[in-house]
Structure 1
Amino acid sequence: MSTSTHDLTHDLEPLPLHVVLVPGFWLGAWAWDDVVPHLGAAGLVPHAVTLPGLGDVAEDRSGVTRDDHVRAVLDVVAPLEGDVVLVGHSGGGAVVHEALDRDPGRVRRVVYVDSGPLVDGAALFPDVPAEAVEIPLPSWEDLAAQGSSLEGVDEAGLARFRDRAVPHPAAVARGAVRLGDQARLDVPVTVICTSLPSEVLRQMAHPGPPLHTELGSLDATYVDLPTGHWPMFSRPADLAEEIVRAAQA
């Protein structure tokens, strides 16, 4: 019995649209728990990532490097069939940008959540002492003083954050970003601005201080979602909606 081309085409199902979620400092995949169901309900396939050294307080973080974090993201992406969108929150933004640089043809779009891509050679915290192995979660007061607003996170959310946070590998924080493929600049990005208005960020989107970012060289769409630095805790449904909109653009 012969099968028509029409029948074969009809039987083919569209490939899924994958969203790889990379959290910032001190966080594991759990940080996206309130976002993931909304992404799935919208038809996306979410993959929340726990980067090396951030799975448990008892882990040995002495040998964890930036390259380990980048490779962990690439390992998640490698077996996926279909389009891939990378989402990086805070310090995770620099990680997904390096992952993009390693394989730009594999990525449909990058979404930066209160974050952005660093330029080649820049580091998030270059002044972290060489002898430091890990960076514990600071006090709420210190975080606020550093510009990491906790706006919108209730007491239960803060308690969960504090209870589940894991010290961040120091070598990752002080390690320099390494980029080499200019094709990364051709991949569209969405920047979800939560603690800093897009109007302000646009003025800072250049390679110099204080941000040392490549945003000004990218095909970037800016979205304002006013809240603090951790929208996955303060406005998870709204954050998911913006990620879906970006992924489907």
Structure 2
Amino acid sequence: MHASQSDPTRIVLVPGFWLGAWAWDDVAERLRAAGHETIALTLPGLERGSDPGAVTFESHVDAIRAAIGDGPAVLVSHSGSAGAATAAVDRAPDAVRHVVWVDTSPVADGYAMDPDLEGDGLALDAVWEDELEGGSMRDLTDEQLATFRKRAVLEPGAIVRTSVSLHDERRLDVPQTLVATAFSGEEYRSYAEQGARFLAGLGEQRALTIVDLPTGHWPMWSKPAELASIIAERAA
């Protein structure tokens, strides 16, 4: 079943590592105020008190796929959710009108972030200092940083370790926008050409454009109005 052109476009917001639907509050509020049906997801295992060791990669793909429904949907993926989001598009390319990658990229078949990760998951504290020193927290207030650290939960290990399996090349023709924040669009292209593993899927796309939004890696907090505007334009 395919949606007709007159059906409203649903916007599905998928947070990156350690985060729940709450991470999108400022963006979602703006999108809803503009009249867009907006769903922000808390993926399995990212609820506080849940068991991250029981989570599978497929459970994340299934949650995103269920939110997309029959479409048409604009899928918005931030950071480490890109693997599951790419797989969800691969499962239902006809239901996705546009994909917005927020400081991340569609992945290639076989990609796994860290297949050797041990334990139940990846903790924010394990990378916090590196993220601060690397500039990914640029433009965040002290209050936002404190909230992030307080509300972050363990990222399930299966999401970090599992290789993405892709089958339908129609995903490559779905219109897509990469919102480059912590790195510029030019840097994204350059890193991909140099063989950056995480960006191997970037060069495969046949309908992808890059938009620069200079800030840190968390634009839903540092520049929510600007990010919401970019997303809304793709949903129009």
TM score, norm. by length of structure 1: 0.87
Query: Unmatched 5+ residue regions in structure 1?
Result: 1-12
* Letter of the 1:233 counterpart: W
1:207 CA drift (Å): 9.4
Aligned to 1:107: 96
1:96 CA drift (Å): 1.1
Distance in 2, matches of 1:42 and 1:102, equals 29
Query: Equivalent residues in 2 for 1:7-46 (5 A)?
Result: 14-46=6-38
Distance in 1, matches of 2:89 and 2:193, equals 19
Cα-to-partner distance string for 1:108-160 (whole Å, 9 max, x where unaligned): 0111000011111111222312xx11211125312235x46100110111111
- Is 2:50 the partner of 1:62? no
* Letter of the 2:14 counterpart: V
Aligned to 1:169: 156
1:15 counterpart SS class:
coil
Distance in 1, matches of 2:191 and 2:123, equals 28
Which of residues 182, 185, 205 in structure 1 aligns to 2:172?
Answer: 185
Distance in 1, matches of 2:128 and 2:198, equals 23
Matched length? 230
Query: Equivalent residues in 2 for 1:1-249 (5 A)?
Result: 14-56=6-48, 58-78=49-69, 82-129=71-118, 132-138=119-125, 140-145=128-133, 147=134, 149-205=136-192, 208-218=195-205, 219-248=207-236
2:187 counterpart SS class:
helix
Query: Unmatched 5+ residue regions in structure 2?
Result: none
Q: Percent identity?
A: 46
Equivalent pair of 1:93/1:116 in contact (CA under 8 Å): yes
Runs of 4+ in 1 over 6 A off after TM superposition: none
Aligned to 1:5: none
Change (3 A) 1:177 1:207: farther
Distance in 2, matches of 1:95 and 1:50, equals 13
Distance in 1, matches of 2:104 and 2:116, equals 20
TM score, norm. by length of structure 2: 0.92
* Letter of the 2:61 counterpart: V
**Which of the pair is proportionally richer in helix?**
2
Flag the structure with larger Rg: 1
